[in-house]
């Protein structure tokens, strides 16, 4: 007998005296197999530690009932929170999930290849896919949905927040709190939602006829967050809007090492509201959205595409709100 984990149907068939076909059908609870036979075969399968070959099954039936989840920062609590919600929803629908890490803010072919090889039925990605990834997924009839971001150049489904409105509301809040010289630290310029958040912030200041300095707009490319903050401090900013909460917390930590008082000397706002689900002992004003609504909407769209391969693209935008927390940020 093979070691556990490598037990095959033929091994159980030899031990039970039944054919491989009978063993297979018994383990799948087929009606044409008697109850006593099923019990005997299942007990042997449990004894030997038999684990069904999901890949072989997917090749036979055409579905793996597995969805890939793609993001680029395994220590970002926002991705962990959302992935847990996605897993629970998909699991309730009979799907398993697999997590894949990409790098440098982009979902490219290097990340797609291992996903394709595992015969997944669909992909939920937090990263904007390259055009090549989109085309390969279409050829392989694997629906892909972009979560939390929207790229108007890619013909794919997406569920996102209103990034422009989020940035605009942050600008209105910072103006109300007395900020005169605002800065923005965002994801790389290639990430559309980062540009939209900055654009909303800009329009809020222009609406109130307040100065908005382009040199205070910093996109995270080659420089570290410390270097970007140093530029803003040299420009005497009194408020910073960060692309997400993780960057905001990193920024707060660095500002404290520079002896900057928050919010007396500089006001901070993030995006994602991770402290709502993740107990971080710091107060941060942030842009929040209904994460359950985002996940449920995305899963509903994906499941529909996986079942009927509908070609029309669906773009859903979820409302946001700025959550002001009493403490040390705004």
| Domain identity same for 72 and 147 | yes
Give alpha helix (H) positions in the chain. Answer: 9-16, 20-27, 35-48, 54-61, 77-92, 109-117, 131-139, 163-176, 192-207, 225-234, 245-257, 291-308
Cα 86 off chain centre by: 9
167 close to 241: Cβ distance less than 8 angstroms: yes
pLDDT band at 245 (very low <50, low <70, confident <90, very high): very high
Residue 326 lies in a domain: no
pLDDT of 196 > 80? The answer is yes
Residue 330 lies in a domain: no
pLDDT of 248 > 70? The answer is yes
> Between residues 295 and 311, which one has the greater pLDDT?
295
pLDDT of 209 > 90? The answer is yes
| Domain identity same for 231 and 259 | yes
For a pLDDT cut of 70, what percent of the chain falls above it? 92
The CA distance from 87 to 295, in Å, is 10
> Between residues 174 and 307, which one has the greater pLDDT?
174
Q: pLDDT for 30-80, tens place per residue?
A: 889 999 999 999 999 888 888 776 555 555 545 678 999 999 888 889 999
Residue 2 lies in a domain: no
Q: pLDDT for 136-146, tens place per residue?
A: 999 989 999 99
pLDDT for the residue numbered 3: 46
pLDDT for the residue numbered 74: 82
pLDDT for the residue numbered 1: 42
pLDDT for the residue numbered 56: 56
| Domain identity same for 46 and 17 | yes
pLDDT of 92 > 70? The answer is yes
pLDDT for the residue numbered 73: 82
List Cβ neighbours of 316 (8 Å cut-off, separation of 6 or more).
158, 159, 160, 297, 301
| Domain identity same for 297 and 285 | no
Least confident of 52-66, 237-251, 266-280, 283-297: 52-66
Q: pLDDT for 158-192, tens place per residue?
A: 999 999 999 999 999 999 999 999 999 999 988 88
CATH (domain of 274): 3.40.50.2300
| Domain identity same for 13 and 79 | no
Residue 218 host element (H or E)? strand 217-219
| Domain identity same for 40 and 83 | no
| Domain identity same for 28 and 135 | no
Mean pLDDT score of the chain? 89
| Domain identity same for 96 and 171 | no
What residues make up the domain containing 80? 64-161+291-319
pLDDT for the residue numbered 48: 85
pLDDT for the residue numbered 17: 92
């Amino acid at each position: 007998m093979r070691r556990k984990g490598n037990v095959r149907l033929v091994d159980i068939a030899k031990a039970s005296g039944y054919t491989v076909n009978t063993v297979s059908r018994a383990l799948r609870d087929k009606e044409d197999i008697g109850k006593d036979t099923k019990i005997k075969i299942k007990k042997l399968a449990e004894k030997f530690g038999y684990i069904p070959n999901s890949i072989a099954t997917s090749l036979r039936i055409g579905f793996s009932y597995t969805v890939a989840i793609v993001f680029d920062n395994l220590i970002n609590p926002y991705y962990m929170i959302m992935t847990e919600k996605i897993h629970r929803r998909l699991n309730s629908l009979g799907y398993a999930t697999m997590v894949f890490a990409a790098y440098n803010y982009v979902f490219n072919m290097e990340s797609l290849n291992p996903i394709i090889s595992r015969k997944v039925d669909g992909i939920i990605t937090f990263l904007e896919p390259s055009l090549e990834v989109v085309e390969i997924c279409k050829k392989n009839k694997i629906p892909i949905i972009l979560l939390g971001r929207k790229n108007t150049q890619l013909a794919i489904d997406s569920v996102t927040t209103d990034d422009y409105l989020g940035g605009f509301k942050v600008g209105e809040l910072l103006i109300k709190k007395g900020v005169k010289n605002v800065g923005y630290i965002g994801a790389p310029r290639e990430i559309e939602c980062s540009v939209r958040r900055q654009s909303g912030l800009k329009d809020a200041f222009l609406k109130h006829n307040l100065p908005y300095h382009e040199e205070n707009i910093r996109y995270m490319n080659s420089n570290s967050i410390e270097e970007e903050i140093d530029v803003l401090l040299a420009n005497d900013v009194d408020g910073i809007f960060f692309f997400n909460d993780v960057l905001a917390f990193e920024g707060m930590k660095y500002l404290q090492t520079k002896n900057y008082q928050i919010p007396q000397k500089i006001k901070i706002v993030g995006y994602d509201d991770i402290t709502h689900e993740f107990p971080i002992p710091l107060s941060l004003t942030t842009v929040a959205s209904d994460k359950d609504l985002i996940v449920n909407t995305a899963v509903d769209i994906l499941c529909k595409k996986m079942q009927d391969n509908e070609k029309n693209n669906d773009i859903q935008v979820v409302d946001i709100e700025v959550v002001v927390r009493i403490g040390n940020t705004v």
